[in-house]
Amino acid sequence: MTYRPSGPPAARVAPLIAALCLAILAAVIPQAARSQDPPAAGASPAHGIAMFGDPNLPAGFAHLPYANPDAPKGGRIVMGEPGSFDSLNPFILKGRAPFALPRHVTETLMIRSIDEPFTLYGLLAESVTTDAARSFVEFTLRPEARFSDGSPVTVEDVIWSFRTLGTEGHPLYRGAWTKVADITSPGSNRVRIDFREPDRELALLMGLRPVLKKAQWEGRSFADSTLEAPIGSGPYVVDSFEPGRFITFRRNPDWWGKDLPVNRGLQNLDEIRYEFFTDQNVMFEAFKAGALDVWREQSAQRWQTRFDFPALAQGRVVQEEIPHRRPAGITGLVFNTRQPIFADWRVREALTLSFDHEFIAQTLTGNADPRIGSWFANSDLAMQPGPASGRVAELLAPFAADLAPGTIEGYALPVGDGRGNRANLRRAMALLEEAGWTMQGDRLRNAAGQPFRFEILLQQGGGEVVTLSETHQITDIWIEALRRIGAEPVVTMVDAPQFVARTNSYDFDVTWYTRALSLSPGNEQMLYWGARGVDEPGTRNWMGMGSPAAEAMIRHMLEATDPEEYRAAVQALDRVLSAGRWVIPVWYQQVSRIAYAADLHHPEAIPLYGDWPGFLPDVWWRAAGGTE
């Protein structure tokens, strides 16, 4: 069954009622009285805010540097997504909602420029105010801001949204909310948030929270999944969908913000449709047949060998490599250290030694992509090789006794020989014996006679950076090496819902793990690696690390007022993550490999983050006469 939302008559007359109310208010309340509320002490309103220093773009800028303000409007784009969905509430832990829903339907007080490490410009808010210590942040709403049903976006909507997300929303929203002392309205169209602890990033994070319509949720539980689309103020509305199969977004011709400088050249397509696939091979075939307009290729080998279909040869499809300067992040096999078998770093190091990356990378990718030797590789936030020095060493020194070997002294991933990996396997056996695992017959066992047995959980359909075929091949090669040292790995394949349920509850031993990292890591790092995630379900801390050093580095990042101090804290965190042996890393892509219909276009200017949310499909357009 296809759902096509249609508003009640009240929704259609709401814009007229709202306009009438505004006209009455304008007549009764003098403009001077509405605009001359006292500003926050010690600060002045600004058009934007940056983590450090000032925004690159001045007040009154014409458009974002990576947008084409002359891009034509119209047309549609069809994209494929792996997995499925059963909910249209993307703001809670329960259910699976399309990831793209909030970016198309809802808006935030400010919008992020993906051409700067962490800088925001006003969207729903026309200005932002904070002090030097960033002990508070205040936003002034644009009076013209409207939800898609025509009703105004109010201070009450903002306050309700922030409180609800912070108390009932996904854990992603809750962590930062614990640092909020109060949220109030000091004057017309103004929202003030006071913080209870030092954290320079909080002012920016509050600017990136989605603003929802309070009235839509009255008398209902926000924490329940639903197939009713949220009412947002964004450029698109949900047009139609079939749970698990597709969702279509239609551009709102009455979108209130279409003429704002931050939106010029953005949101050019009339329709954006996502088709969902449980099998990536089927999705690739759909792209080859022209049913999909865009394909992001994760395999360097396939990029070179499998793009030989007629549409490419005939010029109807083009291939492009889009460079970026964002950190590598982490992709690989993660150990769940909540399981006693992986609690010892020596066991994790031994299993890493058994992973012959050189042989695997040569076999699968021809070594086309570099290995992830640092979680912040490809940026100046990455740890430096060799022993820690200077400020990085000083930050780590108080935790030296509890850090994994190599954190301060210098850690590098083991290098295989690509020909059986015998030397590394011998080192692995020695470490396992130190940790209490010895060969008894042809099997590894501990003193109690228990076998070294664990499960590798894999999701049908593959992951974001490694394809399904590659996960099978990588896992098979690793399993063969593990059996040579007496381990007994077992592979379990599950569908997307089961995978989400099991990883949310940390019900796995080893699985594939991908975390993208930005050039401005902050509060989300506590969600990724904070000790709270050892027991609290639904966090990104799949490895179960509870590291006082990691948490201290994150806090230092959040309190740093100097870019060099901030960089030192991130590099120190990188050392804790890398030397902790939490993940066996594979490779990362220094370019995004994208194939797309030839009548789709994007601006020549490529932002700092490259192909990142905010680029495709936001700044793309379709040539006149393109596929409809």
Q: Identify residue 230 by its one-letter amino acid code.
A: P
d(CA 379, CA 387): 19
Question: Is the backbone of residue 23 left (phi > 0), alpha (psi -120 to 50) or beta?
Answer: alpha
Q: Residue 127: its pLDDT value, please?
A: 98
pLDDT digits (tens, 9 = 90+) for 350-404: 999 999 999 999 988 888 899 999 999 999 999 999 999 999 999 999 999 999 9
pLDDT band at 298 (very low <50, low <70, confident <90, very high): confident
Integer CA distances (angstroms), 108 to 153, 234, 310, 537, in order: 11, 9, 43, 27
Q: Identify residue 566 by its one-letter amino acid code.
A: Y
Q: In what order do the strands lie in the sheet with 48-50?
A: 48-50, 119-122, 110-112
Tell me the two tokens of residue 320: 């492009």
Residues near 548 by beta carbon (within 8 Å), at least 6 away in sequence:
399, 402, 531
Nearest to 557 by CA among 528, 534, 514: 528
> Mean pLDDT highest for which of 258-267, 276-285, 468-477, 609-618?
258-267
DSSP result, 493-540:
EE-HHHHHHHHHTT--SEEEEEE---SS--THHHHHH-GGGGTSTTSS
Q: Which of 76-85, 283-292, 297-306, 387-396 has the lowest mean pLDDT?
A: 297-306
pLDDT digits (tens, 9 = 90+) for 58-74: 999 999 999 999 999 99
Predicted TM-score of the model (pTM): 0.82
pLDDT band at 467 (very low <50, low <70, confident <90, very high): low
Percent of the chain's residues with pLDDT above 70 = 91
Q: Identify residue 245 by its one-letter amino acid code.
A: R
pLDDT at position 582 over 90 = yes
pLDDT at position 39 over 50 = no
pLDDT digits (tens, 9 = 90+) for 323-358: 999 999 999 999 999 999 999 999 999 999 999 999
d(CA 539, CA 502): 12
Strand partners, 592: 322
Q: Residue 470: its pLDDT value, please?
A: 78
Q: Residue 13: its pLDDT value, please?
A: 36
DSSP 117: S
pLDDT digits (tens, 9 = 90+) for 539-574: 999 999 999 999 999 999 999 999 999 999 999 999
Q: Residue 461: its pLDDT value, please?
A: 60
Nearest to 322 by CA among 66, 29, 599: 66
Residues 231 and 148: beta-carbon distance below 8 Å:
yes
pLDDT band at 42 (very low <50, low <70, confident <90, very high): low
The alpha carbon torsion through 190, 193, 199, 200 (nearest 10 deg) reads: 0
Rounded mean pLDDT of the chain? 90
pLDDT at position 303 over 50 = yes
Burial tier of 185 (Cβ tally within 10 Å: 0-12, 13-18, 19+)? middle
Nearest to 316 by CA among 288, 286, 283: 288
DSSP result, 6-62:
---HHHHHHHHHHHHHHHHHHHHS-HHHHH-PPPPTT---BSEEESSS--SSPTT--
pLDDT digits (tens, 9 = 90+) for 183-206: 999 998 999 999 999 999 999 999
Place of tokens 């909310």: 177
- How many angstroms from the chain centroid is the CA of residue 486? 38
Secondary structure element (H or E) that encloses residue 195, with its range: strand 190-195
d(CA 246, CA 135): 44
